[in-house]
Chains A and B, each alone.
Chain A
Amino acid sequence: MNIYRSHVLICGGTGCTSSKSDKLQEKFEKLLVEKELDKEVKVVRTGCFGLCEAGPIIIVYPEGSFYSQVKIDDVEEIIEEHLLKGRIVKRLLFKDAIVEDIVKSVDEVDFYKKQKRIALKNCGVINPEDIDEYIALDGYLALGKALTEMTPEEVIETVKDSGLRGRGGGGFPTGLKWGFTAKAEGNQKYVLCNADEGDPGAFMDRSILEGDPHSVIEAMALAGYAIGSNQGYVYIRAEYPIAVERLQIAINQAREKGLLGKNIFGSDFDFDMEIRLGAGAFVCGEETALIASIEGERGMPRNKPPYPANKGLWQKPTLINNVETYANVAQIILHGADWFKEMGTEKSPGTKVFALGGKINNTGLIEIPMGTTLREVIYEVGGGIPNGKKFKAVQTGGPSGGCITSESLDTPIDFDSLTSIGSMMGSGGMIVMDEDDCMVDIARFFLDFTVEESCGKCPPCRIGTKRMLEILEKITSGKGEPEDLDRLERLAENIKVSSLCGLGQTAPNPVLSTLKHFRHEYEAHVNEKRCPFPHLRINSI
């Protein structure tokens, strides 16, 4: 094994790849060979560093120099100055990584200081296409420990004790789910991973699969051992090509090493898994629709009960968790439930990954301990609102969530507190709005999304959300009447209680919460017959 004096970590997440980090890697590798440095300096293509705003990002170790927005022409300078002469290229450092001419390493940058990385532990650290790098950082140690030292019941107990709750949005206790599926009767059981992340602006699961696919594979194998299943499926949307490719590479490598397949770690436990591609329907992130889609049916939700734990994929007991949930599991098994409980809050232990977006300086991916306040996230990790504008609201939970106003900025983030202030954790989208944003238009944007994505099965969602959107469009185009607000509210409540699945039941939330906190903006539209804000329609966030 070669010992390198320097490592150049290049972000290979979707954000940085789209700003041509792959070309940077080629150039680095080419120039290093030319300058005969390739035996001394290793280039590693990693997963997402999180700070997508500043991409493409390169970190050079051992210094931890955090270069941002690196261009192809900068590569030569980094090699010449930094890697040959040992002089950090200050002009290329991320703005917070150099304060009053003092260079900070990546860990000291504000963006990372408040973060605690468990699910994203290896993202931006290892090469996700090399299983040895994962193993070098204790990868598959948890699986080995479980198979050789723990009974399936002990694995479930540990997950239960840790208090881990589903990171896909529902916050259901993961250990309980595992327990139910373990107890369910059936000769065949399945372990599913929900990687059909679809909230606008959310890319937590994508980044985990792109940056650390083995953490999910290991956790699914652990789940298989715990519930008595030998087959897993990862349902992932086809619009995540990098994640799909890296996950497939990871599965293949795990098979080669005997970490998937027959008699794993010499035990009598067999487990293997396959990828199933989704065609991009948001509703397929709903677990029963996801199951229908894997079965080859149209992706429409099924009524619950029966729950997947009893009757899931092909009517067999099925455990389904999302990517981020799985990404926590191996760590919990390895370090124990108490270690996990030390982080976060009592009822929501651990951390949560959020995709920060909208009117915020540090757009990107963050992982914070539960209990961190929204203010800390927005002003410290997120670096505040651009252009000195005033904060107006933050939307959590994506199109299923609600907006949170400045009065609630000191709320500690956890499942229950977000629900109590009228929003929800959701899968981790966090979109910040400033004083220029029209909240009616924000509600219209999210509703437009759910109307598009409704599967059409039940009338409240199929027709009701469309009617809501029409009323909203009437209001935003200055044609609203005072009674439209009541009509909107009543219809929203009706859709909430009578829709079949979570998509419909939560679709009215953005409207209800903006009506609650910003009713005056709705009224202004109706009374003034126009939008009172410099009206920029949001088509994408």
Chain B
Amino acid sequence: MDTVIIKINDERVEVPNDFTILQAAKKMGIDIPTLCYDERLESHAACRMCVVEVEGARNLQTSCSLKVADGMEIKTHSERVIQARKDILDLLWANHPNDCLTCEKSGECKLQEYCYKYDVKETTFEGKRKNYEIDDSSPFFYNNQNKCINCGKCVRVCSELQHTNAIGFSERGFNTHVSTPFEIGIDNSVCVSCGNCVSVCPVGALMPKSKEKFRLWETKKVRTTCSYCGVGCQMDLLVKDNKVVGVQPANGPSNNGLLCVKGKFGFNFINHPDRLNKPLIKKDGQFVESSWEEAYGLIVEKVNNIKSEKGSEVFAGFTSARCTNEENYLFQKLFRAGIGTNSVDHCARL
């Protein structure tokens, strides 16, 4: 890989020549704010927050899209740049409900974060604001366009990574908003409810229909592997008071920061009161909670009895894609070597 030498904030640095300024700055530990940038997506250069000053260029340049060139001199936090970012935040705020007090996104909202960082304490503009009906037709999430800042991440994730193309931009200019074709609503669209749009939304426009009230700062993130299938998606469970209240995708080798509908939204069973936490044994026609020792003992006893009466071939084992590969391996081993039958199968084969 060829490299180039550039100067960022008067500091020389050598970076690969296919780096963007944003990547180069990141390498140096310089934080450039972004709203529409996602390293997995084609650069969009829409939000204008990542603008920097490049020596010799007439206008400010978007660091997410501009590739480095040898000898380039860049200022990431000059007075002009900071003013431009403040102006952008001012404008975004001018068309955004001022409801951080009650907004569920509060605490992880990028607009909130940057307004705080750049000391934008109120918008200086009056005027028309968006007024859309909330699309709550999806069983899993809300689309509240009044909070949308049109960064387009949801649209691009849906198109470029999920390849579903359920949502896009409708109308233009001030009325531009994210919706389904012909405004038919999420539930009537080709949306597969993967929720990847919800995961990338930097503000509170796309929010899960949460059963719990929680603030992000009240939760603890627990990194785990999704238990639904064998792909091995990495995810962070948001845990509040020992209860799973939400899921965020994590970037693992097999999932590239994406999840499907089950991984993203299908976590309510974890703390559901109907969920079995202990084995039940039927005694006198009633299921009665028992210990694992007792349950295993009963299973072994019954298996042994049946096997000696009717032979091994009367057994068949069926396991689940929700088990790990290792568990599935052990399961077939148990049936083949332990019980003595080859009749063992798995739901994912269907």
Contacts and interface: CB of A to CB of B under 8 A. Distances in A.
Contacts of A505: 59
Interface in B62-104: 62, 65-67, 84, 87-88, 91-92, 94-95
A494 B84 CA distance: 7
B92 A457 contact: no
A467 interface: yes
Interface in A449-472: 451-460, 462-467, 470
A466 B127 contact: yes
Would you call the interface of chain A mostly helix, strand, loop, or mixed?
Answer: helix
B271 interface: no
Contacts of B241: none
A470 B173 contact: no
B124 A487 contact: yes
Contact of A498 (B60, B65, B66, B168): B60
B173 A453 contact: yes
B251 to A, nearest CB: 25
A452 B125 contact: no
A466 B174 contact: yes
Contacts of B91: 459-460, 463-464, 467
A62 interface: no
A464 B127 CA distance: 11
B126 interface: yes
B48 A462 contact: no
A452 B172 CA distance: 7
B169 interface: yes
A388 interface: no
A487 B46 CA distance: 24
Contacts of A281: 172
Contacts of B124: 487
B67 A459 contact: no
A305 B173 CA distance: 23
Contact of A463 (B59, B92, B168): B92
B50 to A, nearest CB: 11
Given A456-B169, A456-B174, A498-B51, A462 B128 contact: no
A457 B51 CA distance: 15
Contacts of B169: 298, 300, 456
Nearest to B126: A470
Nearest to A497: B59
Contact of B46 (A451, A457, A466): A457
A151 to B, nearest CB: 32
B47 interface: yes
Residue of A302, A466, A505 with most chain B CB atoms under a 10 A cut-off: A466
A305 B21 CA distance: 13
Nearest to B42: A302
Contact of A456 (B47, B128, B173): B173
A498 B87 contact: yes
Contact of B92 (A451, A453, A455, A459): A459
Contacts of A457: 46, 150, 152, 176
Interface string B158-181: 000000000011011111100000
Interface residues of A, number: 31
Query: Chain B contact residues (Cβ within 8 angstroms of A): what range?
Result: 35 or more
A465 B94 CA distance: 12
A463 B129 CA distance: 10
B45 interface: yes
A459 B47 contact: yes
B238 interface: no
A267 interface: no
A500 interface: yes
B150 A459 contact: yes
A499 B84 CA distance: 10
Nearest to A298: B169
B149 interface: yes
Residue of A302, A453, A459, A498 with most chain B CB atoms under a 10 A cut-off: A459
B168 A451 contact: no
A305 B67 contact: yes
Contacts of B51: 498
B106 interface: no
Interface string A292-309: 000000101011010000
A29 B129 CA distance: 59
Contacts of A458: 45-48
Interface string B172-193: 1111100000000000000000
A460 B66 contact: no
A455 B45 contact: no
A456 B91 CA distance: 13
A27 B257 CA distance: 71
B43 interface: yes
A500 B141 CA distance: 31
A356 to B, nearest CB: 29
Residue of A298, A302, A456, A464 with most chain B CB atoms under a 10 A cut-off: A456
A64 to B, nearest CB: 48
Given A459-B150, A498-B48, A454 B94 contact: no
A378 to B, nearest CB: 32
Interface string B215-245: 0000000000000000000000000000000
Contacts of B62: 303, 500
A295 to B, nearest CB: 13
B150 A462 contact: yes
Residue of A451, A487, A497 with most chain B CB atoms under a 10 A cut-off: A497
Given A459-B48, A498-B51, A505-B59, A303 B65 contact: yes
A462 B59 contact: no
B173 A498 contact: no
A500 B59 contact: no
A456 B60 contact: no
Contacts of A283: 172
A451 B150 CA distance: 16
Contact of A453 (B45, B47, B126, B172): B172
A457 B155 CA distance: 12
A455 B87 contact: no
A487 B87 CA distance: 12
Contact of B88 (A298, A300, A459): A459
Nearest to A457: B46
Contacts of A470: 126-128
Contacts of A305: 65-67
7 contacts: A300-B169, A455-B173, A456-B175, A459-B47, A459-B92, A459-B150, A470-B128
Interface of A: 281, 283, 298, 300, 302-303, 305, 451-460, 462-467, 470, 487, 494, 497-500, 505
Given A303-B66, A455-B176, 10 more contacts: A283-B172, A452-B172, A453-B172, A454-B173, A454-B174, A462-B150, A463-B91, A463-B92, A498-B60, A499-B48
| 4 A-B pairs with least C-beta separation | A456-B176, A303-B45, A454-B173, A466-B174
Interface of B: 43-48, 51, 59-60, 62, 65-67, 84, 87-88, 91-92, 94-95, 124-128, 149-150, 152, 168-169, 171-176
